[in-house]
């Protein structure tokens, strides 16, 4: 009872990813023993070393699967009509928060990313991908803010770079803190008012500073 069919092998891989996400959340990535992951998945360490090179590659695969939905949102939004750029940003943020509020796996994902993981050089590929994703997201949002200024939705004095930094920080902070206490408030219900609060501030009194060179 050793060798499985191709289909069963993929199932094993999936259960390994699911088990890894759970154990990472419970023990932290660095403190997780691959034997724990294997046990949780109902296999041995041999299976892990067959599917992945080491823990870093396993973590990378877990992250890749977890960030897929959010990236899909961004890609979808980039193709939508840009008649109302601010609404696009709003929708983007709402979808992201809804995804977090509704899917336990996404919550586990961000819990690990934010609180159960050390971004050191051994996880360099994950860090690089995170940086690239963030840069792409920031760039896309800033572009939308620039269009909003052009449309007259935001004041001409708006520093779109800072506005983007603030928006991104707000989203990161909301997710960072909410996953610590998902029961502290109903994120799905409160996402709209929370977002509209910041976006209203943006329209009324946008940031006007200059980014530093460097």
Q: Mask: binding to DNA, 49-68, rule CB under 7 A, as x and -?
A: xxx--xx-------------
Which region among 52-60, 75-83, 85-93, 110-118 touches its own copies (by CB under 8 A)? 110-118
**Angle at alpha carbon of residue 162, lines to 159 and 163, rounded to 5°:** 80
| Closest approach of DNA to the CB of residue 19, in Å | 12
Q: Which of residues 112-131 bind its own copies (CB under 8 A)?
A: 115-120, 122
By the rule CB under 8 A, 169 interacts with its own copies: yes
| Closest approach of its own copies to the CB of residue 145, in Å | 12
By the rule CB under 7 A, 29 interacts with DNA: no
Helix, strand, or coil here: 208? Answer: coil
By the rule CB under 8 A, 204 interacts with its own copies: yes
By the rule CB under 8 A, 27 interacts with its own copies: yes
DSSP code per residue over 43-96: S-HHHHHHH-SSHHHHHHHHHHHHHHHHHHHHHHHHHS--SSHHHHHHHHHHHH
By the rule CB under 8 A, 197 interacts with its own copies: yes
- Which residues, other chains included, contact 47 with Cβ-Cβ below 8 Å and sequence gap of 6+? 12, 16, 38, 41
């Amino acid at each position: 009872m050793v060798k499985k069919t191709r289909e069963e092998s993929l199932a094993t891989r999936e259960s390994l990813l699911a088990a890894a996400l759970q154990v990472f959340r419970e023990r932290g990535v660095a403190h997780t023993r691959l034997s724990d992951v294997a046990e949780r998945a109902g296999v041995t360490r041999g299976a892990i070393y067959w599917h992945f090179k080491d823990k870093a590659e396993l973590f990378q695969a877990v992250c890749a699967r977890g960030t897929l939905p959010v990236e899909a949102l961004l890609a979808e939004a980039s193709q939508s009509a840009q008649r109302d750029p601010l609404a696009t940003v709003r929708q983007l943020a709402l979808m992201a928060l809804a995804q977090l509020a509704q899917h336990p796996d996404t919550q586990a994902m961000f819990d690990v990313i934010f609180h159960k993981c050390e971004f050191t050089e051994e996880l360099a590929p994950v860090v690089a991908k995170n940086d690239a994703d963030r840069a792409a997201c920031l760039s896309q949002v800033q572009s939308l803010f620039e269009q909003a200024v052009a449309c007259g939705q935001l004041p001409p004095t708006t520093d779109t770079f800072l506005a983007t930094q603030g928006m991104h920080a707000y989203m990161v902070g909301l997710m960072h803190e909410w996953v610590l206490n998902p029961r502290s408030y109903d994120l799905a219900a409160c996402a709209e008012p929370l977002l509209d609060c910041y976006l209203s501030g943006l329209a009324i009194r946008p940031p006007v500073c200059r980014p530093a060179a460097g």
